[in-house]
Amino acid sequence: MTFSDFRDGSKKRKIEIKKMEKKVISLRHKKIYTNKNNQLKILVSEVEELRSELNDLKLILEAVTGHSDEIEACLLEKVRAGDRLFHVISKTIPVPFVISRKDNGSILFSNSYAEKVFKLSHEGFSLNNLPDIYDDPDESRRFLTCLSDQGRIENFEVKLRKSDGTLFWASLFSQSVSFRGKDCLLTVVFDLTERKQAEKEKLILERQLRQVQKMEAMGTFAGGIAHDFNGILTIILGNLQLAQSKLTDDSPVGKYLKDAVAATTRGTSLITQILTFCRQTKEEKKPFRISSVVSEAAQMIQSLIPSKINVCLSIKTAMPIIIGDPTHIHQILMNLCANAVHAMEEEGGAIDIILENISINPETEQEKMIFPLKTRAYARLTVRDNGPGIDKEIMDRIFEPFFTTKAPGQGSGMGLSIVHGIVQRNGGTVTVESESGKGTAFYCYFPLISDEK
């Protein structure tokens, strides 16, 4: 029997006693008539019996009432102890959870860890309604449907919203409970931010590793071919020059030999670019101010490209120093601007060349990087055009040797490969952003060194 039943029984007995008291009082005030059957004696006897029974009931009620007060006090203490234990557990267990009503989703309780996860403050925002924390309302309905079908939910992954509007991935575990006399849901919230970030970083590193392996394999292949062709072209060029030395100035063959020498020289230049990409050429690295080299190259490029394409130079840093070969910076700018000119040769446009200092945060920038960078300061060289952009379908291939979208005979497909090889060899990396119809931007990162002599 519950305390509630016991208390209700006591109330009923009190009501019965009240009725008996009224009955005795009514008998007292009733006019008494005697007759030959001695009914007066019988009536007095009934009154005495009722009075005796009433006294007995009063004694029982006093005893019961005394015990009921003790029981009620005991039960109230147990309820308070249970509440204290619940609050201690909710604050001690390092697991965010909320208790919400089944019928309308209103949240009746959230522990301190839930308030921390959702960035709540008692003075400001508070959890009011469970569906409000979902980024997608359809996910809230799917959650309730699964709970209705299965009775409980485990590992329900969903995006939730914090009080400041930021989103985070969470895993929900939910179970039906009774709380404060209402049908409720106990929902445990596990923050998956670190796990999702680790998975994301793993995918980025795997992509970067695949890119490194692909570029190394292609570099080895291209380097082997380049060495063979370099030997062949050296022999051809030597013989052509020897033949030229045997001709007289007015020989009609001289023109053909001159064209052959020019073509062979272009072939040799292409081989040199391939070997540069493969890191198989000798180079002299030294500290130099990249700003002066960029400024010089920008002026030269403007004089070489069509007048309907304008070069805009912006140097936002005070003479950053890097280690490398200054001629390679020229080569990078020439290749990137050549691509931009090719993209805008019909409509015209603008090429922005921007040099600035920047600090890299791998946690936020690494996803864009082809190769990972350390946390430090870099000189970032940006070449941006407002041409048609690069299709997403070919974005992953643009740095591959010999890959080109130009018509046959208009390009070797080595330009971006050379850019990639030079920047990586100098301890940096290249990123690209492009959107169809909105242009393309290449970002080259070079590690800065101290300006001290």
Residue 212's Cβ-count burial label (10 Å; 0-12, 13-18, 19+) is: middle
Determine what percent of the chain is predicted with pLDDT higher than 70: 62
| Most distant pair of Cα atoms in the chain: their distance | 177
Determine what percent of the chain is predicted with pLDDT higher than 90: 8
For the domain made up of 284-453, give the CATH fold: Heat Shock Protein 90 (3.30.565)
- Tens of pLDDT, residue by residue over 324-353, are 888 888 888 988 998 898 888 888 899 999
Phi (first) and psi of residue 379, to 5 degrees: -90, 125
Residue 446's nearest CA partner among 289, 216, 219 is 289
- At a CB cut-off of 8 Å and minimum separation 6, what does 399 contact? 215, 370, 416, 417, 419, 420, 430
- Domain made up of 94-191: CATH architecture: 2-Layer Sandwich (3.30)
Phi (first) and psi of residue 154, to 5 degrees: -130, 135
The mean pLDDT of 10-25, rounded to a whole number, is 60
Three-state SS for 255? helix
- Tens of pLDDT, residue by residue over 277-336, are 555 555 678 899 999 889 988 988 888 888 899 999 999 877 788 988 888 888 889 889
**pLDDT for res 453:** 41
Residue 59's Cβ-count burial label (10 Å; 0-12, 13-18, 19+) is: exposed
Where exactly are the structural domains of the chain? 3-90, 94-191, 197-282, 284-453
Most confidently modeled of 12-16, 70-74, 387-391? 387-391
What does pTM read for this prediction?
A: 0.46
Class of domain 197-282: mainly alpha
**pLDDT for res 351:** 94
